[in-house]
Amino acid sequence: MASSRTETGPVRSTILPPAIRWHRPLLWLAAAMAVVAVAALVGLAVDPRTLTGAPLWAKPLKFAISVGIYAVTLSWLIGLLPAASSRRRRPAPHRLAWWAGTIAAVFLVVEMVIIVGAAVAGLTSHFNVSTAFNAALWSVMAASIVTVWVAAVPIAILLLRTDLGDPARALAIRSGLLIALVGMGLAFLMTGPTAAQLDAYQGIVGAHTVGVADGGPSLPLVGWSTVAGDLRIPHFVGMHALQVLPLAALLLEVLGRRITLLAHPLARRGILRVLVVLYLGVLALVTGQALAGQSIVQPNAPVLAIAAALSGATAAAVAVTLRRESRRLRA
């Protein structure tokens, strides 16, 4: 329900609709990923093997968490689309989104089966074309993630056309999903052969890092390189706009209970616009940093300067937005 004014003041909306129609196949997938995550944690505790410098079960754990979060979020987003009055008949938009979500769930299962199976066998799942069988598995994984990306497109289009009520919430949901699509697409930057692989082919085509081979010094759990650029970082940042921006909208709504100005949806939408631009700026910055072969923990002076400029511009834009909305409300 959108916010509006009454004689006693603004009516505040909440981030969730009155009744959430969760997409059940995606919720089942999320539950399965919770089980896989627990199993991977056990594997980390009892299996000392490593692969490309990282614990063997770290990748299944990371992917289980990521897929689980994505499944829950996408299930919620599909539930925001209008439902029919009859349970036996969905309107065309919701039916299309339901099937798109189901297709995404199926192919995410395919990807996770290959990742976990490779871990059990002690093999790397990504970029591995050392044998015909491994190349076939990698091709299936690549096709699966492309299918998941394509399945999210109609959902994004439908959400752009659906009245989501509160304008700040709508902006956060729509921009979050669109930026997530960009972040998912950035994964394709990892799939091309590196110069070293072209010079000395060893059954691996593609890499996470830029400037060095995969498997060097890295941050705990996430595995991001501490000595070179890492393309997983922009992929991660872009994908999780799907959660970060709606959570920012939720936080602003909660703050609106204490701060009168933020109780007004147009003021929150103005702030969200600034945060969306900031998010895009950060995504562009970490993408350029990774492509330049620079580690996320060793930024050079230009990167620090750009980060400082983004922070300052964001603070100034939020201040201007709040001042403008305050004047508008007093008028």
Check: pTM over 0.85? Answer yes or no: no
Binned at pLDDT 50, 70 and 90, residue 263 comes out as confident
Mean pLDDT for the chain? Answer: 85
pLDDT digits (tens, 9 = 90+) for 115-174: 999 988 888 888 778 788 888 888 898 899 899 999 999 999 998 888 887 888 899 999
pLDDT at 86: 43
Name the amino acid, one letter, at 225.
S
pLDDT at 6: 39
More confident residue, 301 or 54: 301
Using CA atoms, how far apart are residues 250 and 259, in angstroms rounded to an integer? Answer: 14
Q: Can you give the residue ranges of every domain in the chain?
A: 7-330
pLDDT of 5 over the 80 cut: no
pLDDT of 2 over the 60 cut: no
pLDDT digits (tens, 9 = 90+) for 61-117: 999 999 999 999 999 999 888 764 445 455 566 788 999 999 999 999 999 999 999
Using CA atoms, how far apart are residues 331 and 325, in angstroms rounded to an integer? Answer: 10
Cβ 303 vs Cβ 289: under 8 Å: yes
Beta strands in the chain (DSSP E): 4-6, 9-11, 50-51, 54-55, 209-210, 229-230
Within 13 Å and on the Cβ side, how many CA atoms surround 199?
3
Cβ 242 vs Cβ 159: under 8 Å: no
pLDDT at 272: 94
The mean pLDDT value for 249-270 works out to 88
pLDDT at 274: 95
pLDDT of 321 over the 50 cut: yes
β-bridge mates for residue 195, sequence order: none
The pair of three-digit structure tokens given for residue 85, joined into one six-digit string: 């009055």
CB contact set of 150 (below 8 Å; sequence gap of 6+): none
pLDDT at 85: 42
Neighbours of 37 (CB within 10 A): 19
pLDDT at 282: 96
- Give the SS3 label for residue 150: helix
pLDDT of 292 over the 50 cut: yes
The pair of three-digit structure tokens given for residue 236, joined into one six-digit string: 């991660």
pLDDT of 3 over the 50 cut: no
Torsion of CA 90, 74, 246, 233, to 10 degrees: -160
Q: What percent of the chain has pLDDT over 90?
A: 48
